[in-house]
Amino acid sequence: MASSAVHDDRLRYDPSSYEFHEDPFPVYARMQAEAPLYHDEERGFFALSCFGDVLAGLSDPRLLSSAQGTLLEQIQRPGDPPDMMIFADPPRHDDLRRLVSRAFTPRRIAELEATTRSLCDAWLEPLVEAGGGELVADLAGRLPMALIGALLGAPPDDFSRLKELSDRLLYREDGSVAQPEDAAAAGLELYLYFGALVAERRARPVDDMMSALIEVTISTDGGTRHLEEGEIVAFCLLLAVAGNETTAKMIATGMVVLADFPDQRALLVREPQRWPAAVEELLRFDPPSHYQGRVTTAPVVLHGQELPTGSTVLLVNGAANRDPDVFEQPGQFRVDREFERHLAFGHGIHYCLGASLARLETRVALQTVLASFPEYEIDRGGVERFRSNIRGLSRVPFAG
- Along the 400 residues of the chain, how does pLDDT read in single tens digits? 444 444 446 899 999 999 999 999 999 999 999 999 999 999 999 999 999 999 999 999 999 999 998 989 889 887 778 777 788 888 878 877 777 776 677 777 888 899 999 999 999 999 999 999 999 999 999 999 999 998 888 999 999 999 999 999 999 999 888 889 999 999 999 999 999 999 999 999 988 888 888 887 777 777 788 888 888 898 899 888 988 899 999 999 999 999 999 999 999 999 999 999 999 999 999 999 999 999 999 999 999 999 999 999 999 999 999 999 999 999 999 999 999 999 999 999 888 888 999 999 999 999 999 999 999 999 999 999 999 888 999 999 999 9
3-class SS string, 90-104 = CCHHHHHHHHHHHHH
The superfamily (CATH) of domain 18-399 is: Cytochrome P450 (1.10.630.10)
Nearest to 209 by CA among 151, 267, 264: 151
CA distance 182 to 337: 42
Do 28 and 322 contact (CB within 8 A), yes or no?
yes
CA atoms within 13 A on the CB side of 395: 8
> What distance separates the 2 farthest-apart alpha carbons in the chain?
63
CA distance 47 to 39: 6
CB atoms within 10 A of CB 264: 19
CA distance 312 to 43: 10
**What Å distances lie between residue 17 and 156, 175, 188, 258, 389, CA to CA?**
35, 5, 26, 26, 10
CA distance 290 to 134: 25
- Bridge partners (DSSP) listed for residue 293: 314
Extents of the domains making up the chain: 18-399
CA distance 110 to 119: 15
* Chain centroid offset of residue 392 CA: 10
In sign, the C-alpha dihedral spanning 259, 264, 270, 275 is: negative
